[in-house]
Amino acid sequence: MTEDASRMGLATWDLGITCGNDTSVQVDRGEPKQRKARQSTTAMVRVWNDQGLVGITSTNDLSTPGLRAALASAQQASAFGDAQSPPRLSPQARDPLTPLHQPRQPTLPMQMLLERLLDAERQVLNGHQAISTVPYNGLAQAQRERLYINSAGALRHQSTTSATLWLYPRAEEAGRKPRGAGAVRLAAGVDDLDLEGCIAEATERTISHLDYAPIDTGVYTVCFSPEAFLNLLWAFGSMVNAQAVLDGISLSRRSSLGSQVASPLLTVTDDARHPGHVAAPEFDGEGTPTRRLLLIEGGRLRHFLHSEGTARAFADGSMATGHANLGAKVTLGPQWLDVEGQRGDSSLSCETSSGVVLIDSLSALHAGVKASQGSFSLPFDGWLLSGGERRSIEAATVAGDIRSTLQHVVACEGDPQCTPSGRSPHVWVEGLTITGEA
């Protein structure tokens, strides 16, 4: 690569490669439904021409001729590069990495995956007479190899494994609407998955929604489950995205740093290297090391997510934070959100409160969120609490503004729980509009 670039007169370049092996199975009422095995390879090549403009191309051919052709293609594309704010190599791409303890787990034969998933489905179907199918299910395992090198001498390599189990049963009783819920488990390998916990959670959550009733439209105090609250934060990730700030599509501005954007009870960190983050990355697409980054502390906005380019554009001493993804344009996104909260109003409790809506999961996040405006209107599954008793809500949506929602957090209950997208306690918010089915 170095020799080919030199022959082409390219002094500055970088290369990011991701290789994967994925195996997954699905079943349907005791029979195999789908078996998949896939190998994937993607290489992103960037080159800088004499004017400092960047060209980028992708290829899945990692042979010497394939990479040489990618260099040539990127060189041609550089003539049309962004002249306003071209990226540069990350100055942190050669910083020492603190290795993560991620022993690779062995992959299992597909037949063994199938047998384990069939047994899990059987246990769910036997969990309640109303559960007739588990229409959405799967057991998957993956191996990943990541490599980053550049012309300045950076060399990064990481190898990880992961496994995922998901079970979403469907239950139906005579004269009643079908109901469903589910559970997901992640681990470094299939043998490490909490199969029994996933089976029990999927079954219990589905059964809990059988006895449903409509809810009156009104303004309620709402308790978000860890998964639901994290999904809401992810939907409004542009609030802490420096590129979105520069592009004018974020609710935040450069001057927002230090301002009170949430209740003092709330602290949010992006922690790519948390032990609960399966297959956690050691570096991002630009080769910048990942790290724990404080986003909101006691309700105050402390940091934005930065790439090399946004950190330079801010010109305030900001540094790349390890959240960049290479593509036609460098993009930014959270890695793994860690929510910590103070208890707040101790009278609020899932065990004793009444007239409170407990939201289990949110739907239609792609359609019901207007991130640049801050508004959301989302269907949800959940319960109406009455003295600790839960009654499933037939059909309803929750609506509000994310800025007001974060400011009106009144309690954080229980120890933070790990989910696929992060960690959070139950978060209580007052003054949200719930619209019941007409």
- Judge residue 9's burial from the number of C-beta atoms within 10 Å of its C-beta, 0-12 exposed, 13-18 middle, 19 or more buried: exposed
pLDDT (tens digit per residue) in 318-377: 999 999 999 888 999 999 999 999 999 999 999 999 999 999 999 999 999 999 999 999
- Domain boundaries defined on the chain: 2-207, 208-232+342-436, 239-259+274-337
Residue 2 has pLDDT above 90, yes or no: no
pLDDT (tens digit per residue) in 207-223: 999 999 999 999 999 99
pLDDT (tens digit per residue) in 254-282: 999 999 999 999 999 999 999 999 999 99
Q: How many residues does the chain have?
A: 438
Cβ atoms 108, 190 nearer than 8 A: yes
Residue 188 has pLDDT above 70, yes or no: yes
Cβ atoms 206, 182 nearer than 8 A: yes
Residues sharing a CB contact under 8 Å with residue 95, sequence separation 6 or more, in sequence order: 288, 289
pLDDT (tens digit per residue) in 97-141: 999 988 899 999 999 999 999 999 999 999 999 999 999 999 999
Return the CATH class of domain 2-207.
alpha beta
Which of these, 106, 105, 122, lies nearest to 114 by C-alpha position?
Answer: 122
Instruction: Measure the CA–CA gap between 307 and 284, rounded to whole angstroms.
Output: 9
Which of these, 60, 13, 406, 200, lies nearest to 2 by C-alpha position?
Answer: 13
Please give the mean pLDDT across all residues of the chain.
Answer: 96
What angle do the packed helices 110-125 and 195-208 form, to 10 degrees? 30
pTM: 0.95
pLDDT band for position 437 (cuts 50, 70, 90): confident
- Judge residue 114's burial from the number of C-beta atoms within 10 Å of its C-beta, 0-12 exposed, 13-18 middle, 19 or more buried: middle
pLDDT band for position 5 (cuts 50, 70, 90): confident
| Residue-level pLDDT at 85 | 86
Give the pLDDT mean for 194-207. Answer: 97
| Residue-level pLDDT at 3 | 87
Residue 95 has pLDDT above 70, yes or no: yes
| Residue-level pLDDT at 359 | 98
Cβ atoms 165, 120 nearer than 8 A: yes
Residue 18 has pLDDT above 70, yes or no: yes
Instruction: Measure the CA–CA gap between 180 and 172, rounded to whole angstroms.
Output: 9
pLDDT (tens digit per residue) in 19-38: 999 999 999 999 999 999 99
pLDDT (tens digit per residue) in 300-315: 999 999 999 999 999 8
Instruction: Measure the CA–CA gap between 137 and 119, rounded to whole angstroms.
Output: 12
Q: Above pLDDT 70, what percent of the chain?
A: 100
| Residue-level pLDDT at 74 | 96
| Residue-level pLDDT at 1 | 77
Instruction: Measure the CA–CA gap between 399 and 89, rounded to whole angstroms.
Output: 42
pLDDT band for position 56 (cuts 50, 70, 90): very high
- In degrees rounded to 5, what are phi and psi of residue 128? -165, 145
Q: Whose structure tokens read 């001729």?
A: 65
Cα 124 from chain centroid (whole Å): 27
Residues sharing a CB contact under 8 Å with residue 364, sequence separation 6 or more, in sequence order: 378, 379
Give the pLDDT mean for 411-436. Answer: 97
Cβ atoms 42, 18 nearer than 8 A: yes
- For 331, the token pair is 């993009």
Residue 250 has pLDDT above 70, yes or no: yes
Residue 193 has pLDDT above 80, yes or no: yes
Residue 438 has pLDDT above 70, yes or no: no
Task: Tell me the residue type at 322.
Answer: G
